[in-house]
Amino acid sequence: MRKTIVIALGGNAIKQADEKGTAEEQFKNVQTTCAQLVSMLKFGHRLVITHGNGPQAGNLLIQQEAAVGEIPPQPLDICGAMTQGQIGYMFQQTMQNMLWKEKLPLPVVSIVNQVLVSEDDPDYQDPTKPVGPFYAEAEAAKIKKERPDYVIKEVKPKSVEKRFRRVVPSPDPIRNIEYIAIRRMVDAGIVVIASGGGGVPVVYDKNENLRGTAAVIDKDKAGARLAEVVGADMFLVLTDVDAAKINYGTPQEKAVRTVTLSEMKKLHKEGHFKAGSMGPKVLACMRFIEWGGECAIITSLDKAVDALVGKAGTRVVPDPVKE
Ligand code: ADP
Ligand code: MG
């Protein structure tokens, strides 16, 4: 049956860990990813795609600082919007090329997407998400003086020279600002790429105007919100492991297969899924099922098609309805 599926693509869908991030490398990875996406489109599913931007935003921030004497560095929200365009473009072009070859001329479009957050979010009290270049202690002190609004933390052990990094809040996504446009495009059969990099985080100021905020939204949590907005049937989180594991990294490691929401809640509470990587994926899947989704899946890119029919991955489904 034809489904509306929101797919959250992990970092490896665009750049492998050992790569520098040249345009050629990125296009090559995007090509592999799009081949999987196109096979789902051929089944007749409607796709809404979201993606991370960590390595791309990181490189862009380093470029901004390297050119600081000549070109004013742009704030984090604008850099986020730039990477949405950059990555969206690569997917849009690659997918369009493939779809034309398949004689399946579905329109594909990426949008620059703002996501509402609140500065009352607890993460604003103690920011946790590292962004941009690493600094040595003296550099960190200098930056701190020039930019009193920056929070800089030691993120690597004392033995490492460049161990300081700017950290920003990672607030919970509340709502996609462009939700009406996104929903209408999806309803019209357009393949939409939205909320890239978790979306550009924005808040309402005291005059009820939107403005960007220096933060990074987790892309898996943003993906679950996007799934609600488009009324998705399924939420598919694609990463570099084929399933979420219990006792991860120990001899007792075991893949979680199909579990109910209550069973997954219990595993999550037991602390099997690391914060900042698998944790937010599991949380996003649970939220989607709580909202009313049919099935949320965590798996790797190459297992995506099998996972949709229950043959691979970690699948979270609703609890049985009791009388
Ligand atoms: P992505 O770019 O796809 O968001 P992440 O690195 O954020 O990728 O998350 C995937 C990683 O989560 C895996 O490579 C794995 O190392 C890590 N991980 C942490 N806990 C678990 C777990 N319980 N089961 C499987 N993977 C886990
Ligand atoms: Mg991640």
Each residue's pLDDT tens digit, 93-137 = 999 999 999 999 899 999 999 999 999 999 999 998 999 889 999
**Domain membership flag for residue 39:** no
Return the H-helix or E-strand segment holding 273. none
Identify the CA nearest to 135 among candidates 165, 167, 168: 165
The tally of domains found in the chain comes to 2
User: Annotated active-site positions, please?
Assistant: 11-12, 129, 219, 281
Contact of 242 with 313, CB cutoff 8 Å: yes
Identify the CA nearest to 223 among candidates 238, 205, 242, 210: 238
Ligand with an atom nearest the CA of residue 241 = 1
Q: Which structure tokens are listed for 41?
A: 């489109």
Residues lining ligand 1, Cβ inside 6 A: 10-11, 52, 239-241, 244-245, 248, 272-274, 277-278
Range of the domain at 207: 47-52+61-116+171-219
Ligand 2 centroid distance, CA of 81 (Å): 19
CA dihedral 293, 229, 31, 41 (to 10 degrees): 60
Ligand 2 centroid distance, CA of 234 (Å): 19
How far is residue 276's CA from residue 257's CA, in Å, rounded to a whole number? 21
pTM: 0.96
How far is residue 260's CA from residue 58's CA, in Å, rounded to a whole number? 37
Task: Give the residue whose CA is nearest to atom 25 of ligand 1.
Answer: 244
Per-residue model confidence as pLDDT tens digits over 37-83? 999 999 999 999 999 999 999 999 999 989 999 999 999 999 999 99
How far is residue 163's CA from residue 303's CA, in Å, rounded to a whole number? 37
Q: Band of the pLDDT at 27, cuts 50, 70, 90?
A: very high
Among residues 184, 219, 254, the one where a domain terminates is: 219
Query: In terms of DSSP bridges, do strands 4-9 and 234-239 run parallel, antiparallel, or are they unpaired?
Result: parallel
H-assigned helices in the chain: 23-42, 54-66, 76-101, 137-146, 179-187, 219-229, 261-269, 278-291, 304-308
Query: Are 240 and 270 within one domain?
Result: yes
Dihedral sign for Cα atoms in the order 89, 95, 96, 101: positive
Query: Are 241 and 180 within one domain?
Result: no
| Cα 2 to the center of its chain, rounded Å | 24
For 301-320, what is the mean pLDDT?
A: 96
Q: Which structure tokens are listed for 155?
A: 């993120």
Ligand with an atom nearest the CA of residue 217 = 2
Query: In terms of DSSP bridges, do strands 114-116 and 175-176 run parallel, antiparallel, or are they unpaired?
Result: antiparallel
**Domain membership flag for residue 138:** no
Residue 1 has pLDDT above 90, yes or no: no
Query: Are 73 and 203 within one domain?
Result: yes
Query: Are 110 and 248 within one domain?
Result: no
Among residues 219, 247, 281, the one where a domain terminates is: 219
Query: Are 237 and 266 within one domain?
Result: yes
Per-residue model confidence as pLDDT tens digits over 197-230? 999 999 999 999 999 999 999 999 999 999 999 9
Query: Which region, left, alpha or beta, applies to residue 63 given φ > 0 means left and ψ of -120 to 50 means alpha?
Result: alpha
